[in-house]
């Protein structure tokens, strides 16, 4: 297969086919084994611009680590503070400026559609690192890569998705990626944070069980994907207070989980997975972080090089 990622925007997971994801994962398997000498030819002389308008630890630093690991360079900013947006410069001008410097742009913005807008404006490829509660496609890519590595494949798995299904962008991107596989999905959330109707509509044709009890899901799932309540997306703080702390995976819950199941979380966690769970063999969220960096190395290398 010719490299389908070359100079391509990564705005929505829905823009990709299963064969394309498989191609990426096979290349990522290679990158996991490769030393710096070999890898560094893919990014040499290339510049990545980060435009992060929302807080981030992992996504931002893993893109940085990834670009440096393939021999490239990184410029950019976190938060509009300190940029000319404080003087009133528009988002579009900011994007156009960064596009004049960089070979690839990575944007995180609280507005839905921001990444698509950037991709339309920029001549260089744009990667969506999170657009409001809409999408986070590279998180879904690394989630699937992690599942595939740790479970030996994706087809046939039972996947429980637990938490904020309404505002969580990682959930929406993950479900749309899983849709390309033959999996059964169990959705677990407080009633107020049920998946949005239009999101459910996109999953038509997929085996999705709605409003599953947490304990039931924990018992049957091969993959348990937990998310944080997206406090910053609530229209009213009181609404957040009503659901805060309404679910938690602790040592008691872990006793229900299958021996060979894996527990994932895009992180940050803010109480929904107790620290005591870290000692359980099924807890794989930090391994997910580690693998994510390789997935992003591979993605950048494929975007920047026609024949990797």
Complex with ligand NCD: residue 94 or 227, whichever CB lies closer: 227
Please select the residue that binds ligand NCD; options are 8, 166, 169, 293, rule is CB under 6 A. 169
Instruction: Judge whether 149 counts as a catalytic residue.
Output: no
Q: Pattern of binders to ligand NCD over 239-268, x per CB under 6 A?
A: ---------------------------xx-
Name beta bridge partners: 283.
Answer: 263
Whose CB is nearest to ligand NCD? 266
Alpha carbon 16 to its chain's center: 14
How far is 219 from 29, CA to CA, in rounded Å?
30
Per DSSP, the residues of 171-214 read: HHHHHHHHTTS--EEEEE--GGGPPPHHHHHHTTTSEEE-S--H
Contacting ligand NCD within 263-292 (CB under 6 A): 266-267
Q: Which of residues 69-108 bind ligand NCD (CB under 6 A)?
A: none
- In the complex, the smallest distance separating the C-beta of residue 232 from ligand NCD, rounded to whole angstroms, is 9
CA distances for 88 relative to 49, 91, 118, angstroms: 21, 9, 18
CB neighbours of residue 282 within 10 Å: 17
The answer to whether residue 149 forms part of the interface with ligand NCD (CB under 6 A) is no
163 in contact with ligand NCD (CB under 6 A):
no
Closest to ligand NCD by CB, 134 vs 222, is: 134
Q: How far is the CB of 10 from ligand NCD (least distance, A)?
A: 14
User: Distance between alpha carbon 295 and the CA centroid of its chain, in Å?
Assistant: 11
Preceding omega of 206 cis (within 30 degrees of 0): no
The residue among 5 and 172 lying less far from ligand NCD, judged by its C-beta, is: 172
Our CB check for ligand NCD shows the closer of 229 and 254 to be 229
The rounded distance, in Å, linking the Cα atoms of 122 and 145 is 28
Provide the token pair at 178.
């899983």
Taking the complex as a whole, the smallest distance from the CB of residue 249 to ligand NCD amounts, in Å, to 15
Return d(Cα 51, Cα 88) in angstroms, integer. 16
Alpha helices, DSSP H only, in 70-180? 91-101, 114-121, 137-151, 169-178
The yes-or-no answer on residue 58 being catalytic is yes
State in angstroms the smallest separation of the CB of 113 from ligand NCD: 16
Rule CB under 6 A: say whether 59 interacts with ligand NCD. Answer: yes
Q: Are 246 and 271 in contact (CB under 8 A)?
A: no
The reply to whether 87 belongs to the active site is yes
The question of whether 61 is a catalytic residue gets the answer no
- Applying CB under 6 A, among 130, 188, 224, 263 the residue interacting with ligand NCD is 130
| Chain positions contacting ligand NCD, by CB under 6 A | 58-59, 130, 136, 139, 169-170, 227-228, 266-267
Catalytic site residues?
A: 58-59, 87, 108, 136
């Amino acid at each position: 297969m010719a490299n389908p990622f070359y100079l391509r925007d990564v705005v929505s997971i829905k823009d990709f086919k299963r064969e394309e994801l498989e191609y990426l994962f096979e290349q990522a398997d290679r990158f996991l084994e490769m030393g710096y000498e070999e890898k560094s030819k893919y990014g040499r002389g290339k510049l990545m611009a980060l435009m992060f308008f929302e807080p981030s630890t992992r996504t931002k630093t893993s893109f940085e680590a990834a670009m440096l690991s393939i021999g490239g360079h990184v410029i950019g900013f976190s938060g509009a503070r300190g940029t000319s947006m404080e003087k009133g410069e528009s988002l579009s001008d900011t994007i156009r400026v960064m596009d004049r410097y960089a070979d690839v742009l990575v944007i995180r913005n609280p507005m839905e559609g921001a990444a698509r807008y950037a991709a339309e404006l920029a001549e260089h490829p744009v990667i969506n690192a999170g657009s409001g509660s809409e999408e986070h496609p590279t998180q879904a890519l690394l989630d699937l890569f992690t599942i595939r590595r740790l479970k030996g494949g994706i087809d046939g798995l039972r996947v429980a998705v637990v938490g904020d299904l309404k505002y969580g962008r990682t959930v929406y991107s993950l479900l749309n990626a899983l849709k390309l596989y033959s999996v059964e999905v169990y959705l677990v959330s407080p009633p107020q944070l049920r998946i949005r109707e239009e999101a459910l509509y996109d999953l038509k044709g997929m085996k999705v069980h709605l409003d599953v009890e947490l304990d039931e899901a924990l018992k049957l799932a091969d993959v348990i994907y937990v998310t944080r309540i997206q406090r910053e997306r609530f229209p009213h703080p009181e609404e957040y207070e009503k659901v805060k702390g309404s679910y938690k995976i602790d040592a008691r819950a872990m006793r229900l989980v299958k021996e060979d199941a894996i527990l994932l979380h895009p992180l940050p966690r803010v109480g929904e997975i107790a620290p005591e769970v870290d000692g359980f063999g099924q807890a794989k969220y930090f391994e997910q972080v580690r693998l994510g960096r390789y997935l992003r190395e591979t993605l950048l290398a494929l975007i920047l090089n026609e024949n990797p």
